[in-house]
């Protein structure tokens, strides 16, 4: 809250309405699905509804809790009036037009602004890092167990379900997203999810998954081969791995995020596979599995100490399949520290 107030002062923002669920959690500790925070220089109020009367007081200590009597907009307007705010800045990336319209009333100016709390969230503190490591441990332990089920005849959908079950069994309250298990030609679709396809001998299988811990998510991808890989499979996997390592080596405080993307992309392009790598090299992860910064050619942000993001180049060849390798890294003053511990060389699972 202190960092946010300093940032607000710097930007000349006297009253900020925080509406994105993850931001509310970040600022107050409140985990309910319905809550907004009105932050001013002196005080802050958490606005929620009857369902969260007890939970909000337990989780969000040290902040005034307002239980809305009628509708949300009225509770926000009343709270703004009570703290003497005549201008309310809101996060234009999270508030819907419908809700903005409902907030309108004479004497209260509304100003859209970028997601300031989301920007603060990009830099993780020790406790957040520990939670992310915990999520990674849950995901990795589950992946290691899953491997014994990956063999010819196994169905992608069942492997995805199994992986999710394992992660939840280890304490993850939910999966970061529906796990992706893309085998054979399905591997050419970066976000293939799962299908009813059965794994065949000789397939590459791309598995993209993430677990949760204390509200924080991780995001990991590995590509395995079922049986002995062909020279072509080895070649593409090796290219993606080299691209990933080049990107990780580039990531250090002060470097533009787009340079991290460029490091991976140049290598893949030089090998003639540029057109088969059509997504960004990485994204921040934390309370949301996809958050800032974005590591893409269009990114205008810089890598900063304390950031946690993924590095995940891939090559997707229609009719052939694909390879993606995704790790989570933490930015220290000396550069990127890889948080993921699973091996990265092409692992070939023995067939039955």
Positions in the binding site for Zn ion (CB under 5 A): 208, 219, 221, 310, 326
HSE-CB at 145 with a 13 A cutoff on CA atoms is 15
Min CB(308)–Zn ion separation in Å: 12
Q: Which is nearer to Zn ion, 203 or 208 (CB)?
A: 208
Cβ 290 to Zn ion shortest distance, Å: 7
Cβ proximity to Zn ion: between 113 and 177 the closer is 177
- Round to whole Å and give the CA distance between 89 and 17: 6
Q: Which is nearer to Zn ion, 63 or 139 (CB)?
A: 139
Min CB(312)–Zn ion separation in Å = 5
By CB atoms closer than 10 A (0-12, 13-18, 19+), residue 45 is buried
Of the pair 59, 219, the CB lying nearest Zn ion is at 219
Between 208 and 212, CB nearer to Zn ion: 208
| Residue 180 Cβ vs Zn ion, minimum distance, rounded to whole Å | 7
SS3 190: coil
Is the CB of 267 or the CB of 308 nearer to Zn ion? Answer: 308
Q: Is 283 helix (H, G, I), strand (E, B) or coil?
A: strand
In the complex, what is the shortest distance from the CB of residue 283 to Zn ion, in angstroms, rounded to a whole number?
6
Q: Of 183 and 221, which CB lies nearer to Zn ion in the complex structure?
A: 221
Report, in Å, the least distance between residue 192 CB and Zn ion.
12
- Which of residues 208 and 291 has its CB atom nearest to Zn ion in the complex? 208
328, 211 contact by CB (below 8 A): no
CA distance 196 to 173: 26
**Token digits for 137?**
């441990």
Q: CB 283: neighbour CB atoms within 10 A?
A: 22
Contacts 24+ apart (CB under 8 A), 55-61: 55/30, 55/31, 56/30, 56/32, 59/28, 59/29, 59/30, 59/31, 59/32, 60/28, 60/29, 60/30, 61/29
* Residue 5 backbone dihedrals phi, psi, to 5 degrees: -65, -40
Cα–Cα dist 98/80, whole Å: 19
What element of type H or E holds 268? helix 257-270
Question: Nearest approach, Cβ of 326 to Zn ion (angstroms)?
Answer: 5
Give the phi and the psi of residue 228 in degrees, each rounded to 5: -70, 125
Closer residue to Zn ion, CB minimum distance, 35 or 118: 118
User: Are the C-beta atoms of residues 243 and 260 closer than 8 Å to each other?
Assistant: no
Q: Which residue has the tokens 């990485």?
A: 282
Taking the complex as a whole, how short is the minimal distance between the CB of residue 324 and Zn ion, in angstroms?
A: 8
Q: How far is the CB of 219 from Zn ion (least distance, A)?
A: 4
Nearest-Å Rg of the Cα atoms of the chain is: 23
């Amino acid at each position: 809250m202190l960092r946010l107030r300093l940032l607000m002062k710097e930007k000349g923002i006297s009253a900020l309405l925080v509406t994105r669920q993850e931001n509310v959690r970040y600022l107050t500790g409140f985990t309910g699905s319905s809550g907004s925070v009105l932050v001013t220089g002196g005080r802050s109020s958490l606005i929620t509804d009857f369902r969260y009367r007890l939970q909000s007081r337990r989780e969000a200590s040290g902040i005034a809790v307002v239980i809305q009597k009628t509708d949300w907009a009225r509770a926000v307007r009343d709270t703004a009036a009570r703290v003497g705010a005549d201008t309310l800045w809101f996060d234009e990336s999270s508030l819907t037009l419908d809700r903005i319209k409902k907030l309108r009333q004479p004497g209260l100016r509304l100003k859209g602004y970028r997601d300031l709390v989301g920007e603060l969230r990009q830099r993780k503190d020790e406790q957040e890092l520990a939670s992310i490591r915990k999520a990674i441990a849950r995901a990795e332990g589950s992946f290691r167990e899953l491997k014994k089920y990956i063999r010819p005849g196994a169905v992608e959908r069942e492997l995805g379900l199994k992986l999710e079950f394992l992660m939840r069994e280890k304490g993850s309250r939910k999966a970061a997203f529906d796990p992706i298990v893309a085998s054979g030609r399905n591997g050419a679709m970066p976000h293939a999810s799962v299908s009813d396809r059965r794994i065949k001998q000789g397939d590459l299988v791309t598995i993209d998954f993430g677990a949760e811990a204390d509200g924080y998510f991780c995001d990991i991808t590995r590509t395995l081969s079922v049986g002995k890989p062909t020279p072509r499979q080895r070649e593409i996997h090796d290219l993606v791995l080299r691209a990933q390592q080049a990107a990780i080596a580039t990531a250090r405080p002060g470097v533009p995020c787009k340079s991290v993307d460029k490091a991976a992309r140049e290598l893949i392009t030089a090998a003639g596979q540029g057109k088969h790598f059509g997504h960004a090299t990485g994204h921040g992860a934390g309370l949301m599995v996809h958050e800032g910064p974005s590591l893409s050619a269009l990114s205008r942000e810089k890598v900063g100490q304390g950031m946690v993001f993924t590095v995940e180049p891939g090559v997707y060849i229609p009719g052939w399949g694909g390879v993606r390798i995704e790790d989570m890294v933490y930015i220290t003053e000396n550069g990127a520290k890889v948080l993921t511990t699973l091996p990265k060389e092409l692992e070939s699972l023995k067939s039955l």
